Amino acid sequence: MRKTGAEIVIECLKKEGVRHIFGYPGGVVLGIFDLLYDNKEIQLILTRHEQGAVHAADGYARSTGKPGVVLVTSGPGATNTVTGIATAYMDSIPIVVFTGQVPTKLIGNDAFQEADIVGITRPCTKHNYLVKDVKDLARVIREAFYIATTGRPGPVLIDLPKDVLADSCTPHCPEKIHLKGYNPKYEGNKWMIKQAAKAISKAKRAVILAGGGVIHSEASKELRELAELTQIPVVMTLMGLGAFSGSHPLSLGMPGMHGSYYANMAIQESDLLICIGARFDDRVTGRLSDFAPHAKVIHIDIDPTSINKNVYAHIPIVGDAKRVLRVLIEEVKEEGPHKWDAIRKAWLRQIEKWRKERPLTYEYSDEVIKPQFVVEKIYELTRGEAIISTEVGQNQMWTAQFYKFEKPRTLLSSGGLGTMGYGFPAAIGAQVAHPDKIVIDIAGDGSFQMNIQELATCVTYKLPVKVAILNNMYLGMVRQWQELFYSERYSYSYLDVVPDFVRVAEAYGAVGLRATRPSEVEPVLKEALKVKDLPVVMDFVVDWKEKVYPMVPAGASLSEMIFGDEEKKKGKKKLRAVK
Amino acid sequence: MRHTISLLVENKFGVLARISNLFSARGYNIESLSVGETIDPNVSIMTIVTSGDDKIIEQITKQLNRLVDVIKVVDLTEYDHVEREMILIKVAPKPQDRAEVLRLTEIFRGKVVDSSPRTYTIEITGDEKKIAAFVELMRSFNIKEFVRTGKIAIAREGIR
């Protein structure tokens, strides 16, 4: 039976099991929108900005593991998706973005609302397509979903010229995909895994560094089994938080620039670093030449380019984390019964010492709300089981430090690209996928304003997303760097005019709440959690002087952390000197 | 160190852009590049000459492999292989030197593909050294113009 291009798109989406699309209409994609008008199986969530649509699809994907789908028009509709696509690309998130394009005959003519989106997104997609013939459409869509979700996941874009959507053919969609140049490797090399097992048996001071790859490959169970079996402590990158229970005695939280002292010390003093699904980002490693100087490195990753890129891997294993870990656990068991408790005793005792020496902490105040206190309260009230999204900056780091993520896919945060304005639309995507779960965006006053328009989306679809703004009137992380490294010259980091967020929320038809004193934090949160069919914006007026500690200055080694209390002492000295 | 990398790629529009994009986005340098169809019209072969230390070359080959449209990547430098390049060079020697130019062309087993009262256009194939040597010799005969193909290379034995 002959079908138009637009019909083929809808049919293929159904075949892929797509229930929700995030999008925004426009001239050249009206053919598809017309079909969605009375479609019962696929719901389009109309955002208020295309960037919001892509982040929402990204949040949908991160919270479910299924690909998020975006549909936007040509030209500005397409270019507005770029930040969202780059965000998903850096964090390896499977999304499929459909963009409209001017008719094939007009391509290259500077037509109205024409943009070379395939060219623009080439460096920030895993792959992209311009469909020039309706006969290719079904196959391309199948390939796009396959590429987005297999191997190291990532965004794929399909550009759809208007005439291709209007043309018709008898669609042929192959069941099996065969791409000559794309064969992700899932099984790790047996011999290498054996070497890894041997290294684990020999090591005295081993640490596991778990990244987002553990979450992508659903390997949390295996990770826990390996860690518990061999009594190896686990540190998690920002993308890896939730891969291993944050309240587990073997969890050391996040390492890196704002990581815990004990996580960084454990890496620096380790003799074996087992990196699983992480890519040694500069925010994790600090100065590379001084990173984990005594450690032998086992690196498990599905993407060969991650291996040996920043840190030399003594034992490289290309493969899927879940499958490799399964084999590794068996190999470790085969290495012979070890008295793991005895082997690790001294190491774990040392780590406990570090933990006691410098715990993650802040100075509580009765007078003014400390941002960390808000995060702690959110953790307490949700028992670590809510889906939390963050914006970027201090709010993100405090969340990573003080919210102990219990389960994978419960933290949505732009790790690689560091996109302000990500958290709120991502929370929308997660709430669409999980209507009954508590979804909270821990935001800053700066970031929230970058996609604040999506309040309308939440109200339209009765999505009870909670936004907790840690409002300090500043671009807090910028301010922190300026205070520490730019002689307290606060160049353009003070947000002179910050709107009354309570009234903004109310103007959109959402609920607005505010807390200005520590005693009000819990009542406000409790009230927000009661709201079931509307978004809630909570404006927490926090101590603007608060900084994120510990901190490894950019370019320094992980061992060169600075701490809040030390800074304070130095500050006093400085004051005295002035007197 | 210089490396000659041979790539089998899908013969589709945009593939060359993906590859050159990869090099520029990651700060790698392309010294020469040549593309052509293979026996299978759906597949093209590219020969890229680039340079970098082992770590960079490892990244380049891995990153190239990661592209969906790239079917196979071989760093020919690791294997025994043959390289050829072709140049067309137009010289305008003084009348008394015309015979000498022809003699040198013969020594280098080149061909005169065009001649005019004032110029010769000469075709030379060979490896880099031979071509460099010929160009050097022609310098004293008033080079007007010259174009080169970029290197193509093939392994001496079948490479798995």
Report the alpha-carbon distance of residue B70 to residue B5 in Å, rounded.
12
For residues A64 and A172, which has the higher predicted lDDT (pLDDT)?
A64
- Please compute the mean of the pLDDT values over residues A404-419 and round it to a whole number: 97
Q: Minimal Cα distance from A121: which residue of B?
A: B18
Verify whether the Cβ–Cβ distance B62 to A123 is below 8 Å: no
Q: What is the pLDDT of residues A544-571, one digit of tens each?
A: 999 999 999 999 999 999 998 776 666 5
Q: Are A129 and A118 in contact (CB under 8 A)?
A: yes
For B98-107, write each residue's pLDDT tens digit: 999 999 999 9
Which residue of B14, B21, B62 is in closest CB contact with A123? B21
Cα-Cα-Cα-Cα dihedral sign, residues A377, A381, A386, A387 = negative
Q: In the listed set B49, B78, B107, which residue is the last one of a domain according to the structure?
A: B78
Collect all residues of chain A within an 8 Å Cβ-Cβ radius of residue B62. Answer: 304-305
Average confidence (pLDDT) over B9-29: 92
B24: domain CATH number is 3.30.70.260
- What band does A172 get if pLDDT is binned at 50, 70 and 90? confident
Closest CA to A444 of A409, A507, A493: A493
Q: Which pLDDT value is given to residue A574? A: 44
For residue A304, what is the nearest residue in chain B, using CA coordinates?
B62
Please check whether residues B127 and B145 belong to one and the same domain.
Answer: yes
Instruction: Please judge whether A303 and B59 are an interchain contact, meaning their C-beta atoms are less than 8 angstroms apart.
Output: no
d(CA A525, CA A513): 9
Give how far the C-alpha of residue B86 lies from the chain's centroid of Cα atoms, to the nearest Å: 7
Q: Does A108 touch chain B (CB under 8 A)?
A: no
What pLDDT is attached to residue A573? 45
* Whether B50 and B106 share a structural domain: no
Percent pLDDT > 70 in chain A is 98
B56 part of a folded domain: yes
In whole angstroms, what is the distance from residue B20 CA to residue A311 CA? 26
**In B, what residues contact A, Cβ < 8 A?**
9-10, 14, 17-18, 21-22, 25, 55, 58-59, 62-63, 65-72
Indicate if the pLDDT at residue A529 is higher than 60. Answer: yes
* pLDDT level of residue A174 (50, 70, 90 thresholds): confident
Report pLDDT for A13: 97
- Extract the runs of DSSP E, i.e. beta strands, from A294-417: 296-301, 315-318, 387-390, 411-412
Whether the pLDDT of residue A75 is over 80: the answer is yes
Q: Is A158 in the B-facing interface, judged by CB distances under 8 Å? A: no
Domain assignment present for B159: no
When the pLDDT of each residue in chain B is averaged and rounded to a whole number, the result is 94
Among A118, A126, A308, the residue with its CB nearest the CB of B14 is: A118
B128 and B105 part of one domain:
yes
pLDDT tens across A432-464, in order?
A: 999 999 999 999 999 999 999 999 999 999 999
Do B74 and B86 lie in one domain? The reply is: no
Q: Which of B18, B68, B69 to mutate to test the interface with A (most CBs of A within 10 A)?
A: B68
pLDDT at A579 over 60: no
**B39 and B10 part of one domain:** yes
Phi, psi of A143, rounded to the nearest 5 degrees: -60, -40
Closest CA to A268 of A558, A523, A21: A558
Determine whether the interchain pair A305/B68 forms a contact, defined as Cβ–Cβ distance below 8 Å: no
Q: Which pLDDT score, from 0 to 100, does residue A385 have?
A: 86
B149 in a domain, yes or no? Answer: yes
Cα atoms found within 13 Å of the Cα of residue A92, Cβ hemisphere only? 21
What is the predicted pLDDT for the residue at A229? 95
Task: Output the pTM of the full model.
Answer: 0.94
Residues B94 and B51 in one domain: no
Kindly determine whether residue A305 and residue B62, on different chains, have CB atoms separated by under 8 Å. yes
Could you tell me which residues are beta bridge partners of residue A95? A68
**pLDDT number for residue A1:** 86
Residue of chain A whose Cα is closest to the Cα of B22: A123
Last residue of a domain, one of B78, B94, B129: B78
Domain holding B148: CATH number?
Answer: 3.30.70.1150
Choose one of B60, B78, B96: the last residue of a domain.
Answer: B78
Same domain, B87 and B146: yes
Measure B18 CA to nearest chain A CA, in Å: 7
- What is the count of structural domains for chain B? 2
pLDDT of the residue at A176: 85
Read off the pLDDT of residues A36-53 as tens digits, 9 standing for 90 and up.
999 999 999 999 999 999
In a domain, B160, yes or no: no
A407 contacts chain B (CB < 8 A): no
Cβ-based contacts under 8 A for chains A and B:
38
Together in a domain, B56 and B90: no
Same domain for B62 and B86, yes or no, is no
Provide the residue type at A116 as one letter.
D
pLDDT on residue A575:
37
Note the pLDDT tens digit of each residue in A268-319: 999 999 999 999 999 999 999 999 999 999 999 999 999 999 999 999 999 9
Catalytic residue positions of A?
50, 112-113, 162, 477
Q: Using the beta-carbon criterion (under 8 Å), do A130 and B14 form an inter-chain contact?
A: yes
pLDDT of residue B143: 96
Average pLDDT over chain A, rounded to an integer: 95
Is there a contact between A122 and B69 if contact means CB atoms under 8 Å apart?
no
Using CA coordinates, name the residue in chain B closest to A156: B68
State yes or no: ipTM above 0.90: no
* Residues in chain A within 8 Å Cβ distance of B9: 181
B143: containing domain:
82-154
Residues in chain A: 579
